[in-house]
Structure 1
Amino acid sequence: MMLAGFPAGTGHARAEGQTGEDIPVEPVHVLAVFPHDPSAFTEGLFYRDGFLWESTGFSGRSVIRKVDPATGEVRAQARLPDGVFGEGIADWHDKVISLTWKSGRGFLWHYPGLSRFGSFTYSGQGWGLTHDDRDLFMSDGTSCLRRLDPDTLGQRGEICVTANGEPVSHLNELEFVRGEIYANIWLTPDIARIDPLTGHVRGWLDLTELEEDIAATDTDAVANGIAYDAVHDRLYVTGKYWQHLYQIERPRY
């Protein structure tokens, strides 16, 4: 997403009556810092087979690319069709599934070659995308996540996200991490850790320290991008136009 005129880090989702003593807030503990393309308007991110797979936005220059996480080097890249704004991506077996913002169209790509072989449609907007071993989870900017069949891409349910009984809106980039859905909250430095069965926020990750380190002057340069290496238990985060990719410690509670 983008919305010129709104400053990055305008507040915390958890500052709007959505936090309490029962929902822990954890500042990030940085384990390593890697280069990230500062021209990338990051909209989707996941880790697989030693590489980051990243989707970037803007109509006419949206791409999906394979990136070496250690160096930031782009190893392969595919361009989305003109006229669409790239958004979230997720892998499912031998394919990559990508969303677009307002066009109501998604695309299917061969993994790992990134050649496009199909498309699908959906109502409303597309924001973030991730999966567990059964379902895709899709955000659309609201407080509810859509649960999709990863083979048919039809919707088969939804998860409405709350913290202390209050809806948590602007759910953006998503990642499934050890039984939880992590979600960037657009225009904030917050990541919500969501119970996929109940929709309740179990905890918050506060990326304020990283936003301060980036020291971005562009109003669209917000935190957006979560990737998890399940094999080595490594958690990565970045943002739009961020010059760094951070490996951070995963919460243990």
Structure 2
Amino acid sequence: MHSPSTALSVNLNKVALVRNTRHLGIPSVTRAATLCLEAGANGITVHPRPDARHIRASDVVELAQLLQDWPDREFNVEGNPFHNLMDCVSDLRARGLPVHQVTFVPDSEGQFTSDHGWSFPQDTQRLAPLVAQARALGLRVSLFMDAEPQAMEAAKSVGADRVELYTEPYAAAWGGAAQAVQLQRFARAAQAAQAVGLGVNAGHDLNRDNLAAFAQQVPSVLEVSIGHALIADALELGYSATIAAYLRCLGR
């Protein structure tokens, strides 16, 4: 059964990536955000990396300024808290700009894309003070996690509010014999997280084909963050029709 409360957050990294190939300022990241929000997206996600290969520090500020006009929507800034993430969100807070959630992702500086979650107990001691720092800024903290039920209690113990389940293994299994097995795996991980008091987000390679089944069978997902596939769809369909299609996948 669809969870009617599953929010759609649009990751705008790929819009910035195209923009950065020229010096013309197009396509506009803030214009893309506006069109997505007007079409009903519940939030905006960005992942500013240290090399600024797509989202730049100035984009983060401009998007936060834009979201001041959308008080019912959320701004999720994700990244590695040992790189540039904490400086980025601390700057927004110092400016009095909205940022609602930070998603801690354990990627290396040159990594092509996020491809694994945090490991416990290995990461416990170094994560805990950064989670506390983010929460002291008034931010919700989500940890990017593999769908391992046994790790959820440790994620809760470091002070996280939510986990974001790394859904690439499900996406890779879509349409094959392992699809049902992966859905069951993610459902168990979500249930384990919720049992210890964690909210559940999800993201990575979710698309118009595989999202509906995920939303139907993984219980009470609070937010999905979708970038690459959604922006690719928007190149063909436009932002408004694309957002509408993803909201339909979420039962809305």
Relative to the length of structure 2, the TM-score reads 0.32
**Which structure has the highest strand share of the two?**
1
**Which structure has the highest helix share of the two?**
2
